[in-house]
Structure 1
Amino acid sequence: MSTTEPCYTDKLEVSVDTPFGVHSEGVVTTGLISGVPCALVARHGQKHDIMPSNVNYRAMLYALKKVGCSHVIATTACGSLREQLKPGHVVLIDDFIDRTSKRKATLYDGTTSDETKGVLHLPMDNIFNQRLRGLLGETCEELGFEYHQGGTMVTIEGPRFSTKAESRMFRLWGADLVNMSTVPEVVIANELGLLYCSVAMVTDYDCWRENEAPPSVGDILNTFKSNAHKAIELIKAVVPKIAAADWAEEKESLKQKVKDNII
């Protein structure tokens, strides 16, 4: 599973070769959370010095799959496009709008081996695993976190923030949140058969509100850091639940979905 670093034991850095090159750090950190084997990668690198367009999402997720991951819990900082989604809240998103243009968005592009041969027209229904979202929501409830079940994330290319006109347009489109990392991450995870869910941490109100200064990097980082404990507590509490459940049906369904849509 991939997230901000929770309380790990038995940590070990593993170098993983992939057909898609080297991911952000070149290694995957494996370890245990409540006795459950897990893996961690920082998509932007430990120093957060890799801009969103340059993250090698394909290599990162392939590496997680190769070390044995079956689920991905991804944390992401985001701006809110809705008054009720307040800074500090957790949103378990269930849909996205893609505004990226410079990223390799599929494994099936004809550049690798027979493993990803053909063209995959992957359906986007239930791209965020519903059962995993439900489990995360249940755990948020138990922990007393302000959270929202469902929401649409618009992923922009970055690294710049949205203009005021773009922010207002996204609201008219029905988007609830904006970030720079959900796409193509969730798509590639599904192509690999990884059950994916995103824990969106609201840090600001983007720039659509009138008579309010636009968010700065400093403000966003301060809000994220002050709420990072929520992501850590959530991961620590939900991992044993995931490990105790039988996910065979969900895994097989996703595997078949991929297989059925390759030409």
Structure 2
Amino acid sequence: MCSKDVVTKLIGSVGDEKFGIGIIGGSGLNSLDFLKDVKSVCKKESNSIYDNILFGYYNRIRVLYIPRHGFFHEYSPSRVPYKSMMCALKNLGCTHIIATTAVLSLNSNMKPGDFVIIDSLIDCTENRENTFHREHPCSCDELLLPTKGYKPFSEGMSRILKIKADSLGIPCHLGGVVITVEGPRFPSPAESGLYANFGADILNFTTVPEVILARELEMHYVAIAMITDFDPLFDSPKRNIDVILSTFQQNVENLKCLLKNSLLDIASADWTKENTN
């Protein structure tokens, strides 16, 4: 339900125009209020991943938006249809993906309220389809190429986001290692200690397999991690739920501001020299 002939039937209302930038919203990012003329990709309900995709404009930049967990948070991290989601964005013309994710910190220098532009990953997931190479990619039309996993994240978009975050006064770390675990439970103290010893800076449930699939489809992918709290591994004073929720809400507002102010630079940059395979 993801091939281009299906796309043509579903999105007749947007004509033949192609999209460039796709934004994957994590928990808390349920809309992008700075976009204009927001519409659903589908003219009518299709019972497919396309039902969850919106498009709109910012300064004439066409942007696709999809909430990773669904508009009603119906997908747990293990149940997110990652392959369908990435295929849909690719088939709708996305060349660049900005993913957002809430994380816990395993690094005392990365504090709640900080953003981290992820530059590497550790995969500790267990039950996810994390590649298109195990079977013929019948749901996607593009040639799939082997992924050079040592640089899975877009360095160009990472630099743009860091520069913009600094100019906006948003505390932001350029580079950080994320460990993605299966969830939905949080790690035990022993596991957290192990992950920290692995060299992980932050922990989440969703970056894998997203980034792997994006790179197999030759899309530029960047992930903005928003730290909501320290992992319980730390003996720091416990923050009550009101403080955590306040941090979460401020993160979301900062994120919207960062996205809004970064789109033009991303859309106008020269990407011909950045390898995506």
Cα distance in 2, alignment partners of residues 123 and 193 from structure 1: 11
Cα distance in 1, alignment partners of residues 155 and 51 from structure 2: 31
Match of 1:69 among 94, 109, 129: 94
Q: Do the aligned partners of 1:97 and 1:154 also contact (CA within 8 Å) in 2?
A: yes
Superposed, 1:215-254 pairs within 5 Å as 220-250=244-274, 253-254=275-276
Match of 1:108 among 123, 133, 137: 133
1:79 is aligned to 2:110 = no
3-state DSSP of counterpart to 1:73? strand
Name the % identity: 34
**Number of residue pairs the alignment of both structures matches:** 247
Letter in 1 for 2:99: A
User: For residues 118 and 82 of structure 1, do their structure 2 counterparts lie closer, same or farther at Cα, with a shift above 3 Å needed?
Assistant: same
Q: Do the aligned partners of 2:122 and 2:200 also contact (CA within 8 Å) in 1?
A: yes
1:205 is aligned to 2:233 = no
User: For residues 211 and 231 of structure 1, do their structure 2 counterparts lie closer, same or farther at Cα, with a shift above 3 Å needed?
Assistant: closer
User: RMSD over aligned Cα, in angstroms?
Assistant: 2.4
Deviation per CA, 1:214-254: give whole Å up to 9, x if none. 987x765543222211110111000001111121232xx32
Superposed, 1:107-256 pairs within 5 Å as 107-113=132-138, 121-210=146-235, 212-213=237-238, 220-250=244-274, 253-254=275-276
Q: Do the aligned partners of 1:129 and 1:196 also contact (CA within 8 Å) in 2?
A: yes
Q: Do the aligned partners of 1:109 and 1:119 also contact (CA within 8 Å) in 2?
A: no
Q: Provide the residue aligned with 1:35 in structure 2.
A: 60
Letter in 2 for 1:246: D
Letter in 2 for 1:13: S
Q: Do the aligned partners of 1:207 and 1:215 also contact (CA within 8 Å) in 2?
A: no
Q: Do the aligned partners of 1:206 and 1:215 also contact (CA within 8 Å) in 2?
A: no
Question: Unaligned stretches of 5+ in structure 1?
Answer: 258-263
Cα distance in 2, alignment partners of residues 149 and 67 from structure 1: 29
Q: Do the aligned partners of 1:80 and 1:206 also contact (CA within 8 Å) in 2?
A: yes
Cα distance in 1, alignment partners of residues 128 and 245 from structure 2: 25
User: For residues 143 and 31 of structure 1, do their structure 2 counterparts lie closer, same or farther at Cα, with a shift above 3 Å needed?
Assistant: same
Moved more, 102-111 or 112-121: 112-121
Q: Provide the residue aligned with 2:35 in structure 1.
A: 8
Cα distance in 1, alignment partners of residues 142 and 160 from structure 2: 34
Deviation of 1:116 (Å): 7.3
Q: Provide the residue aligned with 1:49 in structure 2.
A: 74
Q: Do the aligned partners of 1:137 and 1:149 also contact (CA within 8 Å) in 2?
A: yes
Question: Unaligned stretches of 5+ in structure 2?
Answer: 1-21
